Amino acid sequence: MIPSGSPIRSGAAVTTSIAAVLLSAVLMAPLSRSAIAAEQMKVVVGFAAGSGVDVIARLVAERVRVATGTTVIVENRPGGGGRVAADVVAHSDPNGATLLFAPIVTTAFTPFVFKKLSFDPLKDLAPITRVGNFKFTLALNNNVPADTVKEFVAYVKANPGKISYASGGAGTPMHFLGAMFNQATGTDLLHVPYGGSGPAAVAILGGQVHSAFNTTVAMGPLYKDKKVKLLAVTGSKRSPTLPDVPTFGELKMNLGDIESAEMWYGFLAQGKTPPAVIQKLNAILVDAIKDPTVRARLETLDIEVATDTPEAFAKIVAADYERWGRVIKASGFTLSE
């Protein structure tokens, strides 16, 4: 639960044990960065309270509040795999008072997955900085009789049309990873979308679904408590917080782009926000992210901390747009909603 005296407010209460574990750090040491001009800042998150994205946003937001004295509100606007939140920020006043905290999905997946958008992610959102990079994992409910990816593939094929996987929403990388997995392995996992990584994790924990493609941020604590199985992680190397879980690449199963699906979380503002405001926001956010306590906490959540100048982040956003755009277009995968 969010502490009752917390200055970070949300439209939804955090009710899962996952959130309680992830939000245990309290950051109170002051920083020297001057206060933001606005009396109040809003950080919009496109996933449910208690999800991995939400937890990280609150961690950084609390640090900014302490450093600047500015009231920071974290507002959860789940829906459309983060599309609803992005739309809110894209159509907000370009004054730097409303920010989007989002994963790569908003700028690299959403433009290609959805046929119609009311905003252009590359024009209507201005990159400020990454917070860090993260991995995905294939998780199983403990009752599923498989302990490796090969065993799970065999189990799915032996039960055609009966085995499900959860994602954080339609059109998210988690959804797309499941579709890619089906294509690469010849399986027919059934997609069950939820409103974020937290609810998806709760669903697999409760047995509503058999499996999930989810972030290691959300699934790591459950795995360490032996409440779920983790079969493999994305990325070129094993997670330092989950050293006994192999990478998909190590399995030599020719799973294609699943193997390299390591992505980022970052802050963005309305696209017409003045460059001087973007630079000031960058300085404040980078200070918060680099704070030793915040950095250590992010690392325990399996986030590889990485910050950028706005210009460098914009180049990363553009490159990922091209990279994942090619993958998604080649798959023919779209959503009409």
Domains of the chain by residue range: 17-133+263-331, 136-258
Quick one: pLDDT at residue 335? 72
Residue 278 has, within 13 A of its CA and on its CB side, a CA count of 23
Rounded Cα gap, residues 334 and 328, in angstroms: 8
Quick one: pLDDT at residue 38? 58
Mean pLDDT by 10 residues, the chain (337 residues): 35 37 37 51 91 90 94 93 93 96 92 89 97 95 97 97 91 85 94 87 95 92 96 93 95 89 93 97 97 94 94 96 86 70
**Whether 201 contacts 168, CB under 8 Å:** no
**Is this model's pTM higher than 0.85 or not?**
no
Superfamily of domain 17-133+263-331: Bordetella uptake gene, domain 1 (3.40.190.150)
Quick one: pLDDT at residue 129? 98
Quick check: do 17-133+263-331 and 136-258 share a fold? Answer: yes
242-293: per-residue pLDDT in tens? 999 999 999 999 998 888 887 899 999 999 999 999 999 999 999 999 999 9
For residue 249, report the phi and psi dihedrals to the nearest 5 degrees. Answer: -65, -35
CATH dotted code for 136-258: 3.40.190.10
Secondary structure class of 13 (helix, strand, coil)? coil
